[in-house]
């Protein structure tokens, strides 16, 4: 087995060859990785001290911001070496695990500081499920996932409660009911109250697995309803808004990535016309588009659902044009390659990158305040709400009873049941007007008939 660092540095060359970098980026990557390998060769090991030595050398010639940016190159390269079994572990990954830190950047920043030990200790977070109830909650999460549930949101509730208990060790000997009361009082928001209610219900089920004598607890929906009253109402984009955003997407400026404007146009089109989530957009492969039958396949998304969505002829024509543009741009034609192709990294836009770019289009359209104004204005997910409302309007105007079509709409959106779809039906003035007209044409005659037969 080849062991890194290698004397001829072919491992670095092969790694860079698979990244599809521009000539400028390749020269930067080469310099960074060769300098790092030189430090590793002098120390004859890859550990935390090697990283600190490399950071000190670069800090002598470069600004801290540049050093941290170059550290990301080294971090990804170390992950590659671990994957190829050329080194035993990535020191950054080890530190993240020890300190319970999710991101690598704070670790690099701490290592580059004057007092790395103190900086790393300041990053330390409570160990997941390390409280007095931690083992019970961990077992319950694993049990539910073995039964086929994702159980991501519920696990997050448990982890937040677990961190609270670790921060308040004096509650360790108190009854569970008192622990939950203190947790409920920790934040005064309606959302926290609703989360505490659902956490209590889930924790009761976990405790009953250990002790069947624990009485069951019915979920109280009042807290969730009260929180729903204070949710930010979705913004319903008008067809004119969507048209303006599509025009901006088609001319989106990007000198380094000429395909980006066409990509954003197609992604925005599917986000609105098909009501796709941003994660679903990011996971679309080239083979998921069936140009012959006019459908796209959304695989294994929320609720473990895979669905095949028919699209209109106009949308399919736009997708056909995008795929042709994508081919001429030199994108991979492998059916498993990303539909929304990126010439960097693994050739795929992440859901975060898609969200950032599409939100930037919303800002450029003048529908959302600029960066730095907080979580205000229309959201990307509101396109999904708008798709539902505008579809309901079209059904009303076409003389179709929307109630008969809701089960089909729920399936199209990938919902578990019709109740999830009802959340997306925002009562706008136009929708209320159409419903009133429908009642006037049907229900008013019934009322008139009752008045006639009344003695």
The residues annotated as belonging to the active site are 277, 302
* 298 beta partners: 307
* 341 beta partners: 348
**Domain termination site, one of 66, 96, 123:** 123
Task: Name the pLDDT band for 1 (thresholds 50, 70, 90).
Answer: very low
Distances (CA, A) of 303 to 149, 219, 300: 8, 21, 8
User: ω before 5 within 30° of 0 (cis)?
Assistant: yes
What angle, rounded to 10 degrees, do the helices at 48-59 and 91-99 form? 110
Q: Is 143 in contact with 209 (CB distance < 8 Å)? A: yes
**Per-residue model confidence (pLDDT) at position 81:** 94
Co-location of 118 and 150 in the same domain: no
What angle, rounded to 10 degrees, do the helices at 91-99 and 64-83 form? 100
Domain annotation covers residue 5: no
**Domain termination site, one of 123, 147, 177:** 123
Domain that holds residue 62: 10-123
If you compute the radius of gyration of the chain from its CA atoms, what whole number of angstroms results? Answer: 28
Co-location of 288 and 221 in the same domain: no
The CATH number that applies at residue 248 is: 1.10.443.10
In this structure, is the dihedral angle defined by the CA atoms of residues 209, 210, 216 and 222, taken in order, positive or negative?
negative
Summarize the confidence of residues 268-291 as an average pLDDT.
Answer: 94
DSSP three-state, residue 112: coil
Of 228 and 1, the structure prediction assigns the larger pLDDT to 228
Residue 298's H or E segment, with its range, is strand 295-298
Domain annotation covers residue 2: no
Summarize the confidence of residues 70-87 as an average pLDDT.
Answer: 94
Count the domains in the chain.
3
Co-location of 193 and 163 in the same domain: yes
Domain annotation covers residue 438: yes
Co-location of 299 and 363 in the same domain: yes
Co-location of 190 and 220 in the same domain: yes
Co-location of 262 and 406 in the same domain: yes
Co-location of 224 and 237 in the same domain: no
**Model confidence pLDDT, tens digit, residues 348-405:** 999 999 999 999 999 999 999 877 666 688 999 999 999 999 999 989 888 888 888 9
Within a 10 A sphere around the Cβ of 352, how many other Cβ atoms? 11
Co-location of 404 and 436 in the same domain: yes
**Per-residue model confidence (pLDDT) at position 369:** 87
Rounded Cα distance between 48 and 366, Å, is 48
**Domain termination site, one of 57, 90, 123:** 123
DSSP three-state, residue 9: coil
Co-location of 36 and 69 in the same domain: yes
Co-location of 210 and 239 in the same domain: no
Domain annotation covers residue 414: yes
Average pLDDT across the chain, whole number: 90
């Amino acid at each position: 087995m080849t062991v890194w660092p290698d004397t001829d540095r072919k491992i670095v060359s092969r790694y860079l060859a698979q990244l599809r970098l521009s000539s400028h980026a390749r020269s930067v990557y080469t310099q960074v990785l060769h300098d790092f390998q030189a430090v590793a060769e002098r120390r004859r090991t890859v550990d935390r001290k090697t990283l600190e030595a490399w950071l000190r050398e670069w800090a002598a010639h470069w600004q801290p911001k540049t050093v941290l940016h170059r550290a990301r190159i080294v971090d990804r390269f170390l992950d590659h070496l671990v994957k190829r079994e050329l080194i035993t572990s990535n020191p950054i990954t080890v530190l993240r695990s020890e300190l319970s830190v999710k991101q690598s950047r704070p670790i690099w920043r701490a290592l580059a500081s004057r007092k790395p030990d103190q900086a790393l200790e300041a990053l330390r977070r409570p160990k997941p499920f390390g409280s007095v109830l931690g083992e019970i909650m961990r077992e319950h999460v694993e049990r539910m996932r073995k039964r086929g549930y994702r159980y991501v949101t519920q696990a997050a509730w448990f982890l937040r409660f677990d961190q609270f208990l670790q921060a308040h060790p004096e509650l360790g000997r108190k009854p569970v009911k008192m622990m939950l009361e203190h947790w409920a009082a920790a934040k005064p928001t309606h959302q926290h109250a609703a989360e505490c209610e659902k956490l209590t219900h889930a924790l009761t089920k976990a405790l009953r697995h250990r002790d069947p004598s624990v009485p069951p607890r019915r979920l109280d929906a009042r807290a969730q309803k009260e929180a729903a009253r204070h949710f930010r109402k979705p913004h319903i984009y008008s067809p004119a808004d969507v048209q303006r955003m599509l025009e901006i997407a088609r001319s989106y400026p990007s000198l380094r990535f000429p395909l980006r404007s066409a990509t954003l146009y197609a992604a925005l089109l599917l986000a609105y016309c098909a009501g796709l989530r941003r994660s679903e957009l990011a996971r679309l492969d080239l083979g998921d588009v069936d140009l012959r039958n006019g459908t796209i396949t959304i695989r294994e998304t929320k609720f473990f659902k895979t669905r095949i969505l028919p699209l209109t002829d106009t949308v399919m024509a736009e997708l056909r044009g995008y795929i042709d543009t994508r081919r001429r741009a030199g994108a991979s034609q492998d059916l498993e390659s990303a539909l929304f192709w990126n010439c960097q990294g693994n050739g795929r836009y992440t859901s975060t990158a898609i969200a950032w770019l599409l939100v930037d289009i919303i800002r450029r359209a003048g529908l959302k305040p600029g960066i730095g104004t907080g979580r205000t204005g229309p959201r990307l997910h509101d396109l999904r709400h708008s798709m539902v409302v505008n579809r309901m309007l079209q059904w009303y105007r076409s003389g179709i009873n929307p109630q008969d079509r809701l089960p089909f709409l729920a399936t199209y959106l990938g919902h578990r049941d019709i109740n999830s779809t009802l959340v997306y039906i925002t009562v706008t003035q136009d929708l209320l007007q159409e419903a009133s007209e429908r009642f006037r044409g049907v229900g008013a005659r019934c009322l008139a008939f009752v008045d006639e037969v009344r003695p």
